[in-house]
Amino acid sequence: MRYFIELAYNGKNYHGWQIQPRAISVQEKINKAISTILRKEINIVGAGRTDAGVHASQMFAHFDVEAPLNDNFTYKLNAILPDDIVILKTQLVHNDAHARFDALSRSYEYKIWLGRNPFLLDTTWQLHHQQLNIDLMNKAAAILYDYEDFECFSKVKTDVHTFNCTVTNAKWIRNGNELTFHISANRFLRNMVRAIVGTLIDVGLEKITVNDFKKIIESKNRSKAGVSVPAKGLFLTKVIYDYI
């Protein structure tokens, strides 16, 4: 029997989602907690990978069991997990359901605080003095709809077979001192969102033009794009399936 879990986590204390040697990951913590409850080794499969320090307000993962879970399984799981990882829901799905491959769309938000706020140090990138031209940043962001190959925003050493992604939403929204970049696509490359944000910030600072942004995409060269902004401002916010 296959189950999906919906979860959220603060990524500050973790070296990303995926299990890796000599580093604490979100996946490892959940594996251990489920295995403890079921008294059997369980390995979950996530909807994707988030880098070290990146957060998720909605993430999904699946795992298999031989018998139905008890109604209080979610409660027990949250009782074992650390406070910065929360299971929101456990749901029985069909046996072929796959948290990663069945995801139709993923959405991220990157949060910037314009000024200083000591209470948001772990969840925003704070810009104290820079003046950003948000209109130009949105004009550049709209260019993402016109392209599919985003190699220029990908980590150089990666094992993907294609750099193609279909972006369906990309815009900046300001609410007081909070400036948030919203982006949705069918898939994302490693480090892609943080590299896009870094390059759009260069547009906002008027270091490069909107046309320069277009040329960077066409170059397919990571060295042409902007810096990768800090992980702490990035949130995975939504994963869409056709059966959930």
Considering the domain boundaries, does residue 99 fall inside one? no
The tally of domains found in the chain comes to: 2
Mind listing the pLDDT tens digit for each residue in 145-154?
Answer: 999 999 999 9
Question: Would you place residue 205 in the very low, low, confident or very high pLDDT band (cuts 50, 70, 90)?
Answer: very high
Distance, in Å, from the CA atom of 11 to the CA atom of 143, rounded to the nearest integer, reads: 30
**Do 153 and 222 lie in a common domain?**
yes
CATH code, domain with 158: 3.30.70.660
Considering the domain boundaries, does residue 123 fall inside one? yes
User: Which of 70, 85, 63 shows the shortest CA–CA distance to 10?
Assistant: 85
Does the active-site annotation cover 51? yes
Mind listing the pLDDT tens digit for each residue in 51-73?
Answer: 999 999 999 999 999 999 999 99
Q: Which residues contact 125 (CB under 8 A, 6 or more apart)?
A: 110, 111, 112, 113, 229, 230, 232, 233
Annotated binding residue 3: no
Catalytic residue (one of 51, 64, 71, 102)? 51
183: left (phi over 0), alpha (psi -120 to 50) or beta: beta
pLDDT value for 182: 98
More confident residue, 175 or 161: 175
pLDDT value for 160: 80
Measure the CA angle with vertex 25, ends 86 and 57; round to 5°: 35
Considering the domain boundaries, does residue 39 fall inside one? yes
pLDDT value for 62: 98
**Do 110 and 190 lie in a common domain?**
yes
Mind listing the pLDDT tens digit for each residue in 130-140?
Answer: 899 999 999 99
Question: Would you place residue 157 in the very low, low, confident or very high pLDDT band (cuts 50, 70, 90)?
Answer: confident
Mind listing the pLDDT tens digit for each residue in 212-225?
Answer: 999 999 999 999 99
Question: Would you place residue 164 in the very low, low, confident or very high pLDDT band (cuts 50, 70, 90)?
Answer: very high
**Do 40 and 72 lie in a common domain?**
yes
**Do 192 and 161 lie in a common domain?**
yes
Q: Is the pTM of this model over 0.75?
A: yes
pLDDT value for 4: 98
**Do 62 and 159 lie in a common domain?**
no
- Of 42, 71, 93, which residue sits at a domain end? 93
